[in-house]
Structure 1
Amino acid sequence: MVASPRIAIDAMGGDVGPATMVAGAAIARRRDSSLVFDLYGDESLIGPELAAHPGLASACTLHHTADAIEASEKPSRAIRRAKTTSMGMAINAVKDGKAHAALSGGNTGALMAIAKLALRTMAGIDRPALSALLPTLGDTDCVMLDLGANTECDAQNLVQFAVMGSAYARTVLEIDRPRVKLLNIGTEELKGTDELKDAAAMLREADYLPLRFDGFTEGDKLSRGDVDVVVTDGFSGNIALKTAEGTARFVTDLLRRAFESSLRSKAGFALSRPAFRLLKVHLDPNNHNGAVFLGLNGLVVKSHGSANPKGVANAIRVAASMVRNDITDKIAEDLDNFRAHAFNGGEGK
C-alpha cells in the first residue's frame, strides 16, 4: 500500500485555474498530511497562489509550462500538444511512474484522449469508462458509469464497466459485494436493447465475481439507495447525470424563490434553516466531485470545471483512496477471473 500518494495536478485546468486548484490541494493536504503534489502550469500564476498557502509549499514541486489545453480545444489537437501542456505533462508523469495519479479540471474530451493514448487500456478492457459518485437516499453514494466517454457500447463493454464499477465501489465506498444494475427503460427482463439483455445474461452467470447483479433500474430510481453501481453507455449516462444535476439546481432555486416570496415564507425559512442546510450539503456537487477514468494503465481523475476548492480537495481524496487501495490491481484480478470462467465455459462455479 502506498503511504504517501503523489498526485500530478494540471493547475491550469478548470474555470478558475491555479487559484482553485492550489487552494483545493491546500485543503486536501490539511486533511491528509501524507499527500504530495506535482503542480504543472504557468509558474507566474501558480507561484502567488502557493505563497498564499505556506503549509502547502513544502509538499509541492512546481513544473513550469506556459502551454495549456483550451476548454474548447479539439482532442485531436490536444493530443499533438500533449508533451508541452500542463494537462499532458501531468498525465505523462503517471505514465513515467513519477506520480501515482493525475488530476485535471480541464477539457474532458482532451483529457480522455491524452490519457488513453499515453496510458493505454488495461488487458481485457476494450474501452475505458468515466465513472463518478452520485448522492442517494441510502447510507452511501452510488457509482455510475459510463458518463460520456463512449456513446455506443456493446454487451461486452457493459460487462467490463460492471466489473470496473464494482472495483470502484469496493475501493471508495468500502462495499464488499456491491449491488449492480443496468440502466434501462424498465425493470422487466424483456425490456431494453439486445445489448442490455445480453449484458444482463452474462452478469447473471458471473456469480463468482465480487458483485451482486440485481437486474435493471430506471432513471427515476437512481437516487433511491437500492443500488451501488449503475451501468450504462456513455450517451445515456451523460444525459442522466446532467438531468440529475439540473434537477438538483431546479429544486434548490425553486425553494429559494419560494422562501423569498413573503415575510411569512422568510420566517418559515428561518425555522427550517438546519434542514435546508443539510439538503444543500447533500445536493452540492462539490461534495461528490471526482470522476475517474477506469480501465487505463494508470489513474486519472477529472474534477468538475466549476468545482470550488472544497470540490477539488474531494477529487484529490478520491484519487488518493484509489492509489492506496490499488484499484487498478483489483480491476485486473476481477477481469482475469471473468475471462478465465468465460474461457472454461463457467466451469468451477
Structure 2
Amino acid sequence: MVTISIDAMGGDFGPEVVIPAAANALERHPDIRFVFYGLAGQVEPFLDKYPKLKAASQLHFSETAVQMDEKPSQALRNGRGKSSMWQAIEAVKNGEADVCISAGNTGALMAMAKFCLRMMASIERPAIAAIWPTARGDSIVLDVGASIGADARQLLDYSVMGAGMARALFEIERPTVGLLNIGVEEVKGLDAIKEAGAALRATPHPGFEYTGFVEGNDIGRGVVDVVVTEGFAGNIALKTAEGTVKQIAAYLRGAMNRTWMARIGYILAKGAFDRLRDKMDPNKVNGGVFLGLNGVVIKSHGGANAEGFCSAIEVGYDMVRNGLLQKIDADLTKFYSHYNAAELEAASATETGADNPQA
C-alpha cells in the first residue's frame, strides 16, 4: 500500500477538485490509501459522492487553511500544527503517510516542509523539480523556484537529486544531465556554473552521465534527461514555456476561426489537433517534486483541474513506489565520497608540486 496525505483545502478549488482527482487515482492504482486534511463541513459533501474512495480514506479536520496569498512566514506562524497543509506534511514526518500532496501556496508549502521534515544531511538547499514535456518524451528541470541563486556545490546537489528522480520516474539506469547555461562553450557563464561543470567532468558518477552545458532552446528538444539550473532562471524558463503554450493555442484558435475553409480544415485535421492539445496541456504533466527533504512532497498547480491534480497524485505514487529518497541518498553518498576523494588527491598533487618544482 502507498499512503498519500492530501491538503484538501489547497489550490484555487480545494476539495471540489481534490476529491474527484483522488477517486480517479484510486481507480488506476487500487493500492493507494488516502488521508485527507481539511476544514469541517467542506470535504465530507464531496467525499460522500465517492463511496469507494471514502472506504479507502481517512478524514481529519483542521482548524485552519493556508491562503494562497499568505506570506510563507505568516503561514508558518499561523498554521503550524493546525492548518491542513501542515498536518498533511506532518503525516509524512510521523510515518503515517508516504507522500504529501498540496496545490496550496508554494512558498508556504516549502517553508512548512523544510521546517517540519528538515533537510537531508548533505543537502544545503531544497529544489523544486518539474516534469517537462519535450520532443523526445519528458525531461526533469530543477530548480524551478525553490530559491534564488546557487553556488557550485548546490548545483552539484541538484544534479545528483535530479538524476535520482529521473531514475525513479523514468526508470532510466543512467540518465543524462546538463547544466543550463548561455552557451555550450566551457568558458561561458557564471563562475558557479563553470565550477560545477568542471567538478562534474572531473568526477564521473555511476548514477548519471554529465554531458556538459545546454542552452534554453535545448530544454524543449529533450537533449538531456535532467536540466540543472538555479531557481531564478528555472522559474523564468518554466513561466516562459507556459506562456508560449497559451500563445500558440491562441494563435491556432484564431487561425482556425478566420475563414470557412480554415474551419473545414480544422474538422479534417481534428485528430491531429487533439493530440497536439493533449501534448501541450499542463495538466498532463502536473506535479513539482520537492527534493532535498527527509520526505516526499509534491506541489500541484494551484489552478489544476481534477485530471491535473490526479497527475500530481500519480507522480507522488511513482516517487514512493520507485524509492526516490533511497536513490537520492545512495547517489549523494557515492558522489560526495568520490568527489571528496578527488579533491584530496588534487590537493595532494598541488602540495607535492609546490615542494618539488620538478614534479
What amino acid is aligned across from residue 319 of structure 2 in structure 1? M
Asked if 2 retains the 8 angstrom alpha-carbon contact of 1:20 and 1:309, the reply is: yes
Which deviations, in whole Å up to 9, do the C-alpha atoms of 1:217-251 show, x marking residues without a partner?
11112111211000000000000000001001110
For residues 267-282 of structure 1, what are the structure 2 equivalents within 5 Å? 267-282=264-279
1:170 aligned onto 2:170: no
Match of 2:102 in 1: 104
Aligned mates of 2:121, 2:236 — CA distance in 1: 29
What amino acid is aligned across from residue 318 of structure 1 in structure 2? V
Aligned mates of 1:240, 1:106 — CA distance in 2: 22
Aligned mates of 1:66, 1:273 — CA distance in 2: 49
What is the CA-CA distance between 1:347 and the residue it aligns to?
Answer: 8.8
Which deviations, in whole Å up to 9, do the C-alpha atoms of 1:141-190 show, x marking residues without a partner?
00000000110100000010000000000010111111111111111111
Match of 1:65 in 2: 62
Aligned mates of 2:93, 2:339 — CA distance in 1: 31
* C-alpha RMSD of the superposition: 1.2
Q: Normalising by structure 1, report the TM-score.
A: 0.97
Match of 1:251 in 2: 248
For residues 197-346 of structure 1, what are the structure 2 equivalents within 5 Å? 197-345=194-342
What is the CA-CA distance between 1:346 and the residue it aligns to?
Answer: 6.5
For residues 3-82 of structure 1, what are the structure 2 equivalents within 5 Å? 4-80=1-77, 81-82=79-80
Larger Rg: 2
After TM superposition, the structure 1 stretch with the greater mean CA deviation from structure 2, 73-82 or 121-130, is 73-82
Runs of 5+ in structure 2 lacking a partner? 346-359
What is the CA-CA distance between 1:44 and the residue it aligns to?
Answer: 0.8
What amino acid is aligned across from residue 235 of structure 1 in structure 2? F
Q: How many residues align?
A: 344
What is the CA-CA distance between 1:307 and the residue it aligns to?
Answer: 0.7
Asked if 2 retains the 8 angstrom alpha-carbon contact of 1:43 and 1:62, the reply is: no
What amino acid is aligned across from residue 170 of structure 2 in structure 1? L
What amino acid is aligned across from residue 60 of structure 1 in structure 2? S
Q: Normalising by structure 2, report the TM-score.
A: 0.94
Runs of 5+ in structure 1 lacking a partner? none
Moved over 6 A (4+): none
What amino acid is aligned across from residue 139 of structure 2 in structure 1? C
Identity score, percent:
47
Aligned mates of 1:149, 1:32 — CA distance in 2: 30
Q: Secondary structure at the match of 1:84?
A: coil
Q: Secondary structure at the match of 1:342?
A: helix
Which residue of the other structure, out of 123, 127, 136, is the alignment partner of 1:125?
Answer: 123
Q: Secondary structure at the match of 1:171?
A: helix
What is the CA-CA distance between 1:206 and the residue it aligns to?
Answer: 2.3
Q: Secondary structure at the match of 2:178?
A: strand
